[in-house]
Amino acid sequence: DNGIAAHQSLAEAARLGLDVIVTDHHQPQGELPPAVAVVNPHRPGSSYPNRHLCGAGVAFKLLQALVGGPPADPGLWQLVALATIADVVPLVDENRTLVRRGLEALAEAPLPGLAALAECAGLASTRLDAQTVAFTLAPRLNAAGRMGSALEAWELLATDSPERARALALAVDQLNAARRRHEEMALEQALQRLERGEGIYGDDIIALADPQWHLGVLGIVAARLVDLFHRPALVGRRAGGRVTGSARSIEGFHLFHALSSCADLFERFGGHAQAAGFTLPAALLPELGRRLAARARETLAPEQRVPVLDIDAVVRPEELTVAAVRELERLAPFGEGNPEPVLLLTGLPAGTARAVGSDGHHLRLEWPGGMSAVAFGLGQLAHRVNATRRLEVAVRPVVSDFRGELRVDLHVRGLRPAPGERERWLREELEQRRRWVDVLYPSREVLVRVFLALERLAAPDRTVPARSNELLSRLQRLLPRMPREGLQAAVQILAEAGVLSPAGPAGDRWRVADRGGPTFDLAASPRYRAGCARREVLERLEAALAEGRWEEAESGLTHPLVTVLPFPYNQRITNGGSPPASLERAR
């Protein structure tokens, strides 16, 4: 897939008398490799009109040229469609034809391997579209290369035996389950480290490495951090004094150019605007973070630090009929470069909002007249929406079959208060973050109050119970207005700073420092330092809001130090600078 860069291997092949043809879709760097032919739409002087082919797409075009026309074998169309979707290339121009015809072939007579994989994913009776392939089949196939051997995925696609396909699909599915476990573990550990203030450079760059993180999930974890914090993220594995990792970026921060400006730090690197890979000495990772943060300060405007949700049309509720949504579905296949239409409903009355799901994790919006929408993962917004007079809601409409009746369901992609209420929402959001920081990262004033309470509780030898529940219960009786979580955080800070020290033969007591003894520096506590850093960020955001710099205040809501997870969507909803389109024009 990256033969364009395999100069050493191809030179050795030429020395041995082997004729090699390279098919590739990566950007050439410098001279082309020594090969009989280099088929690549990006090669210098190429006039081929579609530069968005994936690697399998290039091989497919070579095959098409060899046979003198589009291949008749439906299995080949399925493979090139699968690859085009999985490699996340733009679904435009020729790629739309490759995917559409491949999906049609997949629906009529799927390859045994793809049929078995769909069955493993619980999709045996489902007509697969591009998004289903992207989010269910492709990750399973990729997991084979990430966690084991890509040959298992290759054999699954190549086999003609349904029995062998089922066995291979099960093996690939198990590798995908292992990939998910490694991914969740690495993500959880990364979030814990970010909470402690580690791996954050300036306001914009996340750079973390760990010896336990699996190489096969680094890119996925980096992408999830970008989704959570809307900041460029570098995630690596530390081994043998080196860090090997993957990076993902946001619009406006060209990752390959940024890494190129730090080329002296790397043993090797490569990539493009939004994704890259790299290897460098482990000791240089902080320097890389600092340099990238400096570049981000120079290149990223405040509005680029806020996630953007592009809309395709402004609509009225009565326009969202089954027939209209069916017409929009004709724009499929949807994916990279051709996203599903997102429609904006403006000036809506707030209606009724309630948290739904077993844990109240999702938000259901209902309006008079029967219209409703679901916002996945935003259940915590219910009280805020109910306190708002008018809303703007960006939705993705889908047609569903409910007890034999077709209806339009609305999946919320973003929501915000109507103009006039934006400042109040921002102010409330910052106040919520301030309360969260004040509880979990107590200030010096709060710590003094807890220290005085500990003195009151202490025995004559200045000791208190070290058992958490007993100590916190006693403190709560003296400080009833302080949340238990805040008291626990205060005890942790005082212990980290040395104000509390282990005492007793069993270590079941804390000794409270004597006021007349040596002074203690609260900055010795990592948690106290983390709280100071969070307050500094909040003060900057509050000042920006007070001075009317809304974009700057909004951009800070996704700063890793003050993000409460899960947090509400904080997106700029834009139609790309064009006049608001109507649904009729969009159709």
Spatial contact of 213 and 260, defined as CB atoms under 8 Å apart:
no
Do 318 and 290 belong to one domain? no
Helix, strand, coil percentages in the chain from 3-state DSSP, rounded to 5: 50, 20, 35
Sorting pLDDT into bands at 50, 70 and 90, what band is 578? very low
Q: Above 60 in pLDDT, residue 570?
A: no
550 in a structural domain: no
Q: Residue range 276-288: average pLDDT?
A: 97
- 330 and 445 co-located in one domain: no
Pairing of strands 390-402, 308-310: unpaired
Instruction: Please determine, for residue 189, whether its predicted confidence score (pLDDT) is greater than 90.
Output: yes
- % of the chain exceeding 70 in pLDDT: 95
The answer to the question of residue 553 being in a domain is no
Percent of the chain scored above 90 by pLDDT?
57
CA distance 103 to 129: 7
Considering the domain architecture, whether residues 25 and 115 belong to the same structural domain is answered as yes
Higher pLDDT, 288 or 302: 288
* Domain co-membership, 7 together with 147: yes
Q: With a cut of 70, say whether residue 582 has pLDDT above it.
A: no
Q: Would you say residue 304 has pLDDT above 50?
A: yes
Q: In what order do the strands lie in the sheet with 390-402?
A: 313-315, 343-349, 390-402, 405-417, 372-375, 362-366, 352-356
Question: What is the number of domains present in the chain?
Answer: 4
Q: Which domain holds residue 326?
A: 310-419+581-586
CATH number, domain of 117, equals 3.90.1640.30
397 & 484 share domain: no
The answer to whether residue 1 scores a pLDDT higher than 80 is no
Within a domain: 573: no
Q: Which of 149, 178, 207 is the last residue of a domain?
A: 178
CB distance 437 to 563 below 8 Å: no
What's CA 326's distance to the chain center, in Å? 30
Counting beta carbons within 10 angstroms of the beta carbon of residue 278, is it exposed (0 to 12), middle (13 to 18) or buried (19 or more)? buried
Q: What is the structure's pLDDT at 564?
A: 55
What is the reported pLDDT for 360? 84
Q: Same domain for 415 and 497?
A: no
Element (H, E) at 269: strand 268-271
Domain match, 443 and 415 both: no
Rounded CA-CA distance 249/222 in Å is 9
Residues 329, 226 share a domain = no
Q: What is the average pLDDT across 421-432? A: 81
pLDDT class of 524 with cuts at 50, 70, 90: very high
Does 239 have pLDDT greater than 90?
yes
CA distance 5 to 415: 45
Average per-residue pLDDT in the chain?
88
Note the pLDDT of residue 507. Answer: 67
Residue 563 lies in a domain: no
576 part of a folded domain: no
Q: Please calculate the CA angle 139-143-146 and round it to the nearest 5 degrees.
A: 130
In this predicted model, what pLDDT tens digit does every residue of 48-75 receive, in sequence order?
Answer: 999 999 999 999 999 999 999 999 999 9
Q: What's residue 563's pLDDT?
A: 67
Residue 108's pLDDT band (cuts 50, 70, 90)? very high
Amino acid (one-letter) located at 475: L
DSSP string, 184-211: HHHHHHHHHHHHTTTTEETTTEEEEEET
* Residue-wise pLDDT tens digits, 482-513: 999 999 999 999 999 999 988 877 767 889 99
In the prediction, which pLDDT does 62 show?
A: 96
Whether the predicted pLDDT of 240 surpasses 80: yes
Between the CA of residue 420 and those of 310, 346, 423, 424, 512, what are the distances in Å?
A: 21, 13, 7, 8, 52
**Token output for 490:** 């205060």
| 70 and 96 within one domain | yes
CATH number of the domain bearing residue 233: 3.10.310.30
**Beta-strand pair 343-349/308-310:** unpaired
Nearest to 306 by CA among 577, 557, 544: 557
Would you say residue 391 has pLDDT above 90? no
Same domain, 240 and 341: no
How many CB atoms sit inside 10 A of residue 196's CB? 13
Q: What is the pLDDT of residue 585?
A: 39
Mean per-residue pLDDT for 267-284? Answer: 92
The reply to whether 162 falls in a domain is: yes
Segment 62-91 mean pLDDT: 95
Same domain, 291 and 315: no
pTM: predicted TM-score of the whole model, two decimal places: 0.75
244 touches 269 (CB < 8 A): no
Higher pLDDT, 420 or 434: 434
Whether residue 545 is predicted with pLDDT greater than 60 in this model: the reply is yes
Task: Express each pLDDT in 205-227 by its tens digit.
Answer: 999 999 999 999 999 999 999 98
- CATH number, domain of 395, equals 2.40.50.460
pLDDT tens digits along 324-378: 999 999 999 999 889 999 999 988 887 788 999 877 888 899 888 778 899 888 8
DSSP characters for 498-548?
A: TSEEEESTTS-EEEEPPTTS----GGG-HHHHHHHHHHHHHHHHHHHHHTT
Residue 512: phi and psi, rounded to 5, are -85, 125
Residue 169 in any domain: the answer is yes
Domain boundary among 259, 278, 300: 300
Computed on alpha carbons and rounded to an integer, the radius of gyration of the chain in Å comes to 28
| Residue 71 placed within a domain | yes
| Dist CA 496 CA 509 (whole Å) | 15
Report the distance separating Cα 587 and Cα 585, nearest Å: 5
User: What confidence score (pLDDT) does residue 258 get?
Assistant: 96
Of 294, 307, 283, the closest CA to residue 202 belongs to 294
> Omega into 397 within 30° of 0, i.e. cis?
no
Q: Which of 247, 281, 300 is where one domain is finished?
A: 300
Q: Specify whether 355 is located in the same domain as 230.
A: no
Per-residue model confidence (pLDDT) at position 567: 38
